[in-house]
A and B are shown apart, each in its own frame.
Chain A
Amino acid sequence: MRVLVALSGGVDSSVAAAELVEQGHEVVAATMKLWGGESDTGCCSVGDVEDARRSAAQLGIDHHVFNYTEEFDRHVVAPYAADHAAGLTPNPCVECNRHLKFDLFMRRADLLGFDAIATGHHARIGRGAGGSLRIRRGADAAKDQSYVLHPLLDGPLERVLFPIGHLEKSEVRERAARLGLRTAAKPDSQDVCFITRRDGRRSFLAERIELHPGQVLDTEGGSVGSVDAVELVTIGQRRGLDLAGGGSRRFVTSVDVEGRVVTVGSEADLLVGHVTIGDVRLAHGIDPACIDGKDLAAQTSAHGAAQPARLSFHGAEPGTTVVRWRSPHRAVAPGQSVVVYDGDEVVASGVVSGT
């Protein structure tokens, strides 16, 4: 096959490219230049592009740079800021996968005559019950990235390859070292790629949206403190609230950005029995009737564990469903993705609209 591999300059994608070369594919690499500003790896990610270019050269494959900075700004960065202003908790990695890697990049690969694209994600693609293609968790549970890949669950999986999904991270590094790739010991990327550790989320958002101070109330409506930016507060948050008095641990149970009010309560106040998700999408070969009420598991953050849950489509608005937790679960912030697994297969996903 002719495969276009997305090479980020990190160890995972360079080993993914190496695997493809070893398998005998005709491989071309491309690095997406996504962010034009400062990042932890330097301005315009020039250092990452160089690592990608050198890895490609070591593997003997051609390497391109695709400039997607305007598209990244439009589809990922601007919505990230707008979501905060609207009191939502966005996941920019999900949006990047949705719009950049598995849309624009894939379309370009198609235009250029490639049969498939590949990335260095820790996830697998396999046949589910009934023979449909499904996204499955990566072999390394600690590094699994199937959660952020959920926009692809009903996409053209037959044209996507995750060549390192069957490997543990340590094996990936070993292979990189064995091949002498300069990425072998490069640290894993952390957090949001366009926000630097030095300046942080707050200063990034302050340049783009208006931040407002807010009151912090307890569940009885009594004032217990204040925050200087309600837009930065997320449900479930415990740290950084600067509350008066000691006592038991208090968590954010709700955020009202428009009313400039943050409510805190005990951990028990945070627990809910269900969550409603919108923009519901089902994996290939799944119809609501076959998973309604089935024992599944749902994951609400990239690094969290999936918890037992059932889906209930009955009575829900079209395009929405109710995720019923088997045991009470912490509330999930509006805007967050909920990914539903059957075993290690991604079967459904949605975005929290309200609890």
Chain B
Amino acid sequence: MVAPSEYVYLDHAATTPLCEQARVAMEPLLASGERARPPSFGNPSGSHALARIATRALDEARERVAAVLGCAPGEVVFTSGGTEADNLAVTGGMPPRPGVPVCGATEHPAVLEPVRALDGVEVAVDAAGRVLPDALAGTLERLGGGTGRRASVVSVMCANNELGTINDLDALAAVVHEHAPGVPLHSDAVQAAPWLDLSVAARAADLVSVSAHKLGGPKGVGALVVRAGSMLSALIHGGGQERGRRGGTPDLAGIVGFAAALEATASQRCSQAARVAALRDELAAELELLEAVSPTVGTTGAAVLPGHLHLLVEGVSAEELLLLLEQRGVCASAGSSCASGAAAGSHVVEAIGVTGRDRAPLRISLGATTTRREIRAAADALRWALARLAERGGSPVLEART
């Protein structure tokens, strides 16, 4: 068995290690007992001196986050993570906005599930998992025409979490303005944030979700950018924190770590994106030589995040492929998993027209810490796994569902 420290971690789209800058920034806020100094434990909602010190730290973090995301500090609502930010954006708070939420069929469950809970509409995607402007226009037209129903929000992710493909939010915003004027455009930018400059990529969205732990920050922190003029109430009601849009004492240490990670990411973005994309392309070129392996969105010409490599592997179940890779110390993903921890079918892969389990989806996602050695190990592991499957035979794969 491989020791945990020796694992080759290629699942950065699921989460990525805490970066040094975030750890250093958070450390003073995690001091305990007598060593605890302001602003480590003050509650920013209070009025006394220690509370004010905490408030200042929160304000500073908010300004730093806003600067990277390209918005005003007052437009940043800190949340418990990407899922809460998505839920807040889709519902508009509690009670929800009137109307019908609209989203792409390949959205993360954090968007898809609240949309479904509100009896919303899903827009079909292209073969790369993207929402095309014409498809969105058609959906908004149908929704308006005759049914008397009105969109409450349009939610299209900046980049897909499984495939890594990037949506053209500028074009989609133009469609919303034309066909559903006044309806906010939300974008889940959780996957895009480590790689794209959101002040450009998501400038057209009224609401933007970001998660700290995908870019070197701590888990349990995220933000929703709420551009001025967007109507939003709170989903979590409480003491009026975050300008009444998110009740509850903020996780100051987490937020400070988030700000530090976001700044570190932004400062290294260009060089990291180029370095990681080169490693990814090298791995893709090598793996695609294997007969059983094909690139999932390879022929669509879609732009893909630098860290994502999504492949289809013939004649094997995703679960067995991942188990074999793990035996060689490689941690990758099939794209999604269910509450029990079992691999589950992917709604994203299904939405782009790949059905059944005769082709296993394999998501390899690279991050800031990925090295060439790890890429070599992944290629070796996949070759070994396919050879082992050929030699022993895997479980019979159920035919494609019709």
* Most B Cβ at <10 Å: residue of A44, A64, A67, A70: A67
> Hey, which chain B residues are within 8 Å of A104, CB to CB?
395
> Hey, which chain B residues are within 8 Å of A62, CB to CB?
1
**Among A110-118, A237-245, A272-280, the stretch in contact with B:** A110-118
Residues of A within 8 A of B (CB-CB), count? 23
CA distance A70 to B358 in the complex (A): 13
CA distance A168 to B341 in the complex (A): 33
* Known contacts A64-B323, A67-B319: A111-B394 contact under CB 8 Å: yes
Could you count the A-B residue pairs with CB atoms below 8 Å apart for me: how many are there? Answer: 55
A65 touching B341, Cβ below 8 Å: yes
CA distance A52 to B324 in the complex (A): 22
B323 touching A112, Cβ below 8 Å: yes
A111 touching B320, Cβ below 8 Å: yes
Interface of A is mostly: helix
Selected contact of B398 from candidates A31, A53, A66, A71, CB within 8 Å: A71
Selected contact of B342 from candidates A66, A111, A112, CB within 8 Å: A66
A65 touching B340, Cβ below 8 Å: yes
Q: Within residues 87 to 112 of chain A, which ones have a CB less than 8 A from any CB in chain B?
A: 104, 107-108, 110-112
B58 → chain A, closest Cβ, in Å? 36
> Hey, which chain A residues are within 8 Å of B339, CB to CB?
44, 46
> Hey, which chain B residues are within 8 Å of A49, CB to CB?
340-342
Q: Within residues 314 to 354 of chain B, which ones have a CB less than 8 A from any CB in chain A?
A: 319-320, 323-324, 327, 338-344
> Hey, which chain A residues are within 8 Å of B388, CB to CB?
111
B357 touching A70, Cβ below 8 Å: yes
CA distance A107 to B392 in the complex (A): 9
B398 touching A107, Cβ below 8 Å: no
A40-65 CB contact bits vs B (8 Å, 1 = yes)? 00001110010001000000001011
* Known contacts A64-B323, A111-B320, A112-B327: A70-B398 contact under CB 8 Å: yes
B343 → chain A, closest Cβ, in Å? 5
* Most B Cβ at <10 Å: residue of A31, A69, A70, A111: A111
Asked if A33 is an interface residue, CB under 8 A from chain B, the answer is yes
Asked if A74 is an interface residue, CB under 8 A from chain B, the answer is yes
* Known contacts A62-B1, A112-B323: A45-B340 contact under CB 8 Å: yes
Asked if B30 is an interface residue, CB under 8 A from chain A, the answer is no
CA distance A65 to B340 in the complex (A): 7
B344 touching A67, Cβ below 8 Å: yes
Selected contact of A107 from candidates B319, B324, B340, B395, CB within 8 Å: B395
B263 → chain A, closest Cβ, in Å? 38
Selected contact of A66 from candidates B319, B393, B394, CB within 8 Å: B319
Asked if B264 is an interface residue, CB under 8 A from chain A, the answer is no
CA distance A44 to B327 in the complex (A): 27
CA distance A110 to B392 in the complex (A): 8
B395 touching A108, Cβ below 8 Å: yes
> Hey, which chain B residues are within 8 Å of A33, CB to CB?
338, 340, 342
> Hey, which chain B residues are within 8 Å of A74, CB to CB?
398
CA distance A273 to B342 in the complex (A): 49
* Known contacts A64-B323, A74-B398, A104-B395: A53-B341 contact under CB 8 Å: yes
Asked if B53 is an interface residue, CB under 8 A from chain A, the answer is no
B398 touching A44, Cβ below 8 Å: no
CA distance A172 to B323 in the complex (A): 31
* Most A Cβ at <10 Å: residue of B338, B340, B357: B340
CA distance A107 to B389 in the complex (A): 11
CA distance A112 to B326 in the complex (A): 10
A65 touching B342, Cβ below 8 Å: yes
> Hey, which chain A residues are within 8 Å of B327, CB to CB?
112-113
* Known contacts A111-B389, A113-B327: A67-B343 contact under CB 8 Å: yes
Closest to B327 in A: A112
CA distance A69 to B398 in the complex (A): 12
CA distance A45 to B338 in the complex (A): 11
A99 → chain B, closest Cβ, in Å? 10
B396 → chain A, closest Cβ, in Å? 8
A285-297 CB contact bits vs B (8 Å, 1 = yes)? 0000000000000
CA distance A66 to B398 in the complex (A): 15
B359-402 CB contact bits vs A (8 Å, 1 = yes)? 00000000000000000000000000000110011110010000
A343 → chain B, closest Cβ, in Å? 36
* Most A Cβ at <10 Å: residue of B393, B395, B398: B395
Closest to B338 in A: A44
> Hey, which chain A residues are within 8 Å of B319, CB to CB?
66-67
* Known contacts A107-B394, A111-B389: A44-B324 contact under CB 8 Å: no
CA distance A159 to B343 in the complex (A): 26
Closest to B334 in A: A67
What are some 20 contacts across the A-B interface (CB < 8 A)? A33-B338, A33-B340, A45-B340, A46-B339, A49-B341, A64-B323, A66-B319, A67-B338, A67-B342, A70-B398, A104-B395, A107-B395, A108-B320, A108-B395, A110-B392, A111-B324, A111-B389, A111-B392, A111-B394, A112-B323
Interface residues of A, Cβ cutoff 8 Å to B: 31, 33, 44-46, 49, 53, 62, 64-67, 69-71, 74, 104, 107-108, 110-113
11 more contacts with CB within 8 A, not counting A33-B340, A107-B394, A108-B323, are A44-B338, A44-B340, A46-B340, A66-B319, A67-B319, A67-B340, A71-B398, A104-B395, A108-B320, A110-B392, A113-B327
Going nearest first, the 3 A-B pairs with the smallest beta carbon separation are: A67-B342, A65-B342, A65-B341
